[in-house]
Chains A and B, each alone.
Chain A
């Protein structure tokens, strides 16, 4: 019994590490590319009179990617801004009820957010919308947004079930 618990805790850690480094590693790469795109565009414009084709829309796509890759991380790590000025008003039980309610609200809100983004992605795919210059289909981005928001929802559900703080530590230390 104990051993199996430990094993499941271990595999849980592996999942958490995977979740975390896959997302933050991809986000880091996109972030770096975003910086590079501006540099190449500006240097190309001045040194060779040939700016990077589609730099503008690449920046836009990467901005969206960075935001939505970061979202499940910050959600899992409990990094959303909230105000805890009035917390001392409630006693122990009151606080526990308050916490429970807030977690349910969060799951509900993120669940809804995932659903509407998924519907939106299907729509973007149906219309076959692309960017203006490079004609990159926008649907993959829309699906990525829905999927990462879904991951954020999943993290919230796990926090609700297992209790939060030790599951995901905050930030890259």
Chain B
């Protein structure tokens, strides 16, 4: 029996751990008929941003984290973080895995590890305590808590005052009134306990932004496994894992929307004019990314188009 360790930086009750990582670990044990067991370490071996390194160096055998936590290291993942990636996390995640393997894997950005899976959370929307946001004009001067990267650039381009803080600061900033609101997927609004404050939600069809996650394993450890076990792990990972994670986010988003509506908050959907404003605002970022993709030897335009198309297709199933 081989015991593989997994370092997890989210609390054990978080849906990403409870409904994704733990069931996946069980499926690994099942698929290898008990020859490989994934042991969840009782506490994280470090900050979320070091979790890629942890697996690369073998401090833990398996880890998960987000590409955006280590700015400067990866660039192609941004493909899934631009606006209008898709409404279903399961579909965007599955599309992400397929397009990654077809186009992005050429650049070999995850060369230090064995890549087990990629996924996104649900579409990101706008939540605030001030007013209904129906256009970029309504965004003017709105103080929004945003993470780094595309969220930040986009909200600034739309006229908001972007307060860059990690999501863990959201409650402090929103409840104290320092921030008027935040950009979040629906799941996070009740998860960070801000639904009483952010009484106006604007849903952006396809999402204003998204977020890219990975699951990785130490390369030597993976290669040291017998081939049949390697194959068994790959079978329950990849797209299967992406869909498992995406499904979880979709379920949580639905619950989030319920909590927001139960609180009597206003929920409206962005119209075509606002969507165009978002599209225009994001265009320079997309162009910049296309250049980065080209430099990495990847056909970015084709990848992005296929990702959006595929995610729409898959969402229909």
Contacts and interface: CB of A to CB of B under 8 A. Distances in A.
A and B touch in the complex (CB under 8 A): yes
A130 B71 contact: yes
A49 B161 contact: yes
Interface residues of B, number: 19
A78 interface: no
A132 B161 contact: no
B71 A54 contact: no
Contact of A127 (B70, B149, B152): B70
A173 interface: no
Contact of B72 (A51, A54, A123, A130): A130
Contact of B161 (A51, A55, A130, A133): A51
Given A129-B72, A132-B68, A132-B164, 4 more contacts: A45-B163, A127-B72, A128-B72, A132-B148
Interface of B: 49, 53, 68, 70-73, 141, 143, 147-149, 152, 161-165, 178
Contact of A45 (B71, B143, B152): B143
Interface residues of A, number: 18
A131 B161 contact: no
B161 A45 contact: yes
A50 B161 contact: yes
Interface in A46-85: 49-51, 54-57
A103 to B, nearest CB: 31
Contacts of A128: 72-73
Contacts of A127: 53, 70, 72-73
Contacts of B141: 49
A135 interface: yes
B163 A129 contact: no
Contacts of B70: 127, 129
Interface string A105-147: 0000000000000000001000111111101010000000000
B161 A135 contact: no
